[in-house]
Every structure is written in structure tokens, then in C-alpha cells.
Structure 1
Amino acid sequence: MLYPELFKSLEAARWNMEKDIPWDDFDPALITDEQLQTIKMNAITEWSALPATEMFLRDNRNDSDFSAFMSIWFYEEQKHALVLMEYLRRFAPEYVPTEEELHRVRFEFDPAPAMETLMLHFCGEIRLTHWYKAAAQWHTEPVIKAIYETLSKDEARHAGIYLKYMRRAIDRIGDQARLAFAKIGVLMANTKTAKALHPTNLHVNKEMYPQDSVQSHLPDPGWLERWLDTQIHFDSIWEGKVVNGILRNLSTLLETPIRTAKDLSRYRKEMSTQARDGQLAPS
């Protein structure tokens, strides 16, 4: 099982909301209403770890090890929402999300293949790591800068743990897992379409379409694109860091040279051909 050691490592890295956030450094002259609104939207988005956890537990009922890890992931993601709301409560209470606004992002996600979902969230954690790094640079107020830097480190650790479960999946089911990871990797590493791709803005409930993404349930559904494009300026350089992180880890995981999205697409096509011809290695 991975969970016992993962618990130890994450427990050792855990930060304390009262002691490790420099609340006394707050400077009201360095925060704007525009920035406060983005903090609110991020807090609500982090709250959507609730329906994501419900999805993971439902779709991984046969995997108690991974489901146990969800207890840590859920706790830390909800803590992210809480620390952002605590910032607003202390310094701009009029921006604190209401319980109704938080509850709106809790809705059922359609069942999906476990391996594809695992890869999607691995990529999502890498992307969020860099989104929060960019947000920390955009903000000038020291307390919120420190918060985003702290959250970024958490998301990077989460990506590393998802990677461990991906490696375990390859050990257990071999090429079936490799093909699933390559399929999602091609989608998430496409620099032309993947800029804003993250589990919170993908369609997840066909009966609710088009109001079936977490972002569509925010008080301001168009916030994410503005945040990326005109506020934190998540440009091609930042996007390249996301893509390189995905490709570098997949290259190691799949034990094949993958330097570009084209390399990954070629690998996926080869695996798909083998699957169609019944040549994939058995589980």
C-alpha cells in the first residue's frame, strides 16, 4: 500500500494556518477589489474538491489504498479553500463566499474511467501549481502572495502522489494504463487548446450540459479566462512550464523519450493501434 508512507510524507510537510501564514504582514494599500474578487473565485473553485472526492470514492470502490489517500487530498484541498476564505474574513469580509455559493459547485460528476481521471487530475495539479505561482507573482500584498506560494507547493506534492499511483497502475495493468495516460496527456499537453484545461472547467455531467462544469457554477462563470489572460498573465512561457512538466514525467513513467506533444501523440497512436489489433500486453 502507498497510503501509510504518503500519510507520513504529507504530514511532515503540512503547514499550520495560524503559525505559517504571515497574517501580521497584511498591507491594505497593496490589495485591490479586483484582486479580492479573484481570491473569492479561487476559494469557491477549491471547494469543488468536495464533489471531486465523491467522484473518486465512487469510481475507485475497488481501490481502498487510493481511496484512503483521498482523505488527505480532500482535507488539504478544503484547507486551501478555507485559508483563502480566512484571508477574506480578516481583511475583506464582504467578499467571503456565502454557503449557497459554495454549495452550488457541489453536483454529481458522471462516472468516468479511473485511469483517465487519475491522469487528468495529475495534469490538473501540475497546471494549478503554475497557476498559483503566477498568481503569487501578480499579487503585491504580502500575505496573499505567501498564501498562493504555499498552495502551489501543496499542489506540486499532490501531483507527485498522483504520479505514484499512476506508476502503481502500470505495474498492475500495464499497457491499458499506459494508453489511458497517453490519451489524456495528448489532450492536456496541446498548447493550442490546453491553456485553461483543468478538471474544474471540463464538462462532467451530460444531463446538465452546458451548465455542467465547476466554473459554470461560479458567481462569475467567465472569471477563469480573465484571471489567466489579463490578470496573472498566464502566457506561453508559463504554459510551456506546464507542458514540459507533463511530458517530462510521462517520459519517465512510460520509459520512452517524450520531448514534445508530437512525440506523445505518436506514442498514443502506436498504443491505440496495438490495442485495436489485440497486441497490448495482458494485465
Structure 2
Amino acid sequence: MLYPELFKSLEAVRWNMDADIPWDSFDASLLSDEQAQTIKMNAITEWAALPATEMFLRDNRGDSDFSAFMSVWFFEEQKHSLVLIEYLRRFRPDLVPTEEELHKVRFEFDPAPALETLMLHFCGEIRLNHWYRCAAQWHTEPVIQFIYETIAQDEARHAGAYLRYMRRALNDLGDDTSAEAKRAFCKIGVLMASAKRTSQALHPTNLHVNRDMFPNDTVQSKLPEPGWLEHWLDEQIRFDSVWETKVADRILHNLSVLFGQPFKSVQELNRFRKGLDRPAESVQAVA
């Protein structure tokens, strides 16, 4: 089982919201209304770890190891929401999300293949790490800069934990699961490393997850300002092609290590993905 080791490693670096956040360094003159509004939107977005955890537990009923790890992931992700809310409570109480606003992002996600979802969230953690690092540079108030840098480090550790479960799927769960995992990881990897080619921010909270609620079936669509994410990325923190390249490079690097084969571009990964499907197609043709 991976859970006991992951619990121990994450517990060793866990930060304390009272003792480790430099609340006394707050400088009101360095926090604009525009910046404060984005903190509220991120606090609500982070609250969506709640329905994501419900999804993970439902779709991984046969995997108690991974389901147990969700106890750590859920705690730390909800803590991200809580620390952003606490920042607003202390310094901009007029912007603290209401319980209704938080509850609105809790809705049911349709069932999805567990391995594809695992890879999607692995990529999402990498992307969020970079978003928050970029946000820390955009902000000018030192306490919120520290908070974003702190939770960015959590997201990187979460990506590392998901990577452990991805490696387990490839190496420890049998040939059938390994083959399925390779196809799933490559398929989602091609998608999530190709963000420069899309107008949509590629993150789990911005993807459609409930067919019956379409098109209002993304976490972002449930926020008080549904279009805020693209504006935050494009016009505020300016998450540009340089940052997107960093995200794609991290995804490709990790898949290179995972598969023991270098992928220097999305095109190389996509060719590898297509190669995985050829044997099955050949067998069907012969039959």
C-alpha cells in the first residue's frame, strides 16, 4: 500500500495555518479590490475538492489504498480553501464567500474511467502549481503571496502522490491494467499538454462533468463570476505561453520517466499513444 508512506511524508511537511502564515505582515496598501476578488474566486474553486473527493471514492470503490489517500488529499485541498477564506475574513470580510456560494460548487460528477481521472488530476495539480506560482508574482501584498507560494508547494506534492499511483497502475496491477493505464495516461497527457492550442483553460474545474446539467456543468460555471478564470489567467496574472510551456514540459518529463522513453513534444507523445493502439487494431483486422 502507498497510503501509509504518503501519509507520513505529507504529514512531515504540513504547514499550520495559525503558526506558519505571516498574518502580521499584512499591508493593506498593497491589496487592490481587483486582487481581493480573485482570492474569493479561488477560495470557492478550491472548495470543489468536496465533490471531487466524492467522485474519487465512488469511482475507486475497489481500491481502498487510493481511497484512503483521499483522506489526506481532501484535507489539504479543503485547507487551501480555508486559508484563502481566512485571509478574506481577516482583511476583506466583505468578500468572504457565503455558505450558499460554496455549496453551489458541490454537485455530482458523472462516472468516468478511474485511470483517466487519475491522470487528469495529476496534470491538474501540475497546472495549479504553476497558476499559483504565477499568481504569487502578480500579487503585491506579502501575506497572500506567501499563501499562494505555500499552497503551490502542496499542489506539487499532490502531483507527486498521484504519480506514485500511476506508477503502481503500470507496474503492480497486472498486464491488462498496465496496458489500459498506458493508453489512458497518454490520451489525457496529450490533451492536458496541448493547452496552448485551446482557448479553454485545461483544468478539472473547467471541464464538463455532468451531461444532464450541460452546459452549466463545470465547477467554474457555478462561481459567482463564471467567466473569471480566463480573465484571471489572460488579463490579470498573465499566464502566458512561457508558463504554459513550463506546464507541458513537466507533464512530458514525468511521462518520460514513467514510461522510460523520452517525449520532447506533445507530437512525440501522441505518436507513442497511437502506437499503443495499433496491435489491438491489427488483431481486429485479422479476426
Shorter-chain TM-score category?
A: over 0.9
CA distance in 1 between partners of 2:11 and 2:81 (Å): 19
* Cα drift, residue 196 of structure 1: 1.1
Question: Is the contact between residue 138 and residue 236 of structure 2 (CA under 8 Å) also seen in structure 1?
Answer: yes
Per-residue deviation at 1:275?
3.2
Task: Note if 1:201 corresponds to 2:206.
Answer: yes
Contact 2:200 / 2:230 at 8 angstroms: preserved in 1? Answer: no
| Cα contact 1:51–1:108 (8 A) shared by 2 | yes
| Residue deviations 1:105-140 (CA, integer Å, cap 9, x gap) | 000000000000000000000000000000000001
Among 262, 272, 277, the residue aligned to 2:277? 272
SS at 2:159 equivalent? helix
What CA distance in whole angstroms lies between the structure 2 residues aligned with 1:213 and 1:52?
12
Q: Measure, in 2, the Cα distance between the counterparts of 1:249 and 1:143.
A: 32
**Equivalent residue runs for 1:90-109 within 5 Å:** 90-109=90-109
* Identical aligned residues as a percent: 71
Q: Cα deviation per residue 1:146-169 (whole Å; 9 max; x = unaligned)?
A: 000000000000000000000000
Counterpart of 2:58, as a letter, is R
Structure 2: distance between partners of 1:87 and 1:94 = 12
* Alignment match of 1:182 (pick from 176, 182, 186): 186
Q: Which residue of 2 aligns with 1:67?
A: 67
Q: Secondary structure of 1:277's match?
A: helix
Shift of 1:59: 0.1
Query: For 1:37-48, what aligned pairs fall within 5 Å after superposition?
Result: 37-48=37-48
* Cα distance, 1:194 vs structure 2: 7.4
Structure 1: gaps spanning 5 or more residues:
none
TM-score (norm 2): 0.96
Describe the SS at the equivalent of 1:174: helix
Q: Is 1:187–1:194's contact at 8 Å kept on the other side of the alignment?
A: no
TM-score by length of 1: 0.97
The CA deviation at 1:86 is: 0.1
Aligned residues: 279
Aligned partners of 1:195 and 1:239 also within 8 Å: no
Q: Which residue is 2:262 aligned to? A: 257
How far the C-alpha of 1:277 sits from its partner, in A, is 3.3
In structure 2, the residue matched to 1:210 is: 215
Residue matched to 1:161: 161
- Match status 1:248 vs 2:244: no
Counterpart residue number, 1:233:
238
Q: Does 1:129 align with 2:101?
A: no
Structure 1 residue 278, shift from structure 2 partner: 4.7
One-letter amino acid of the counterpart of residue 30, structure 1: L
> Residues 190-225 of structure 1: CA distance to partner in whole angstroms, max 9, x if unpaired?
121276100000000000000000000000000000
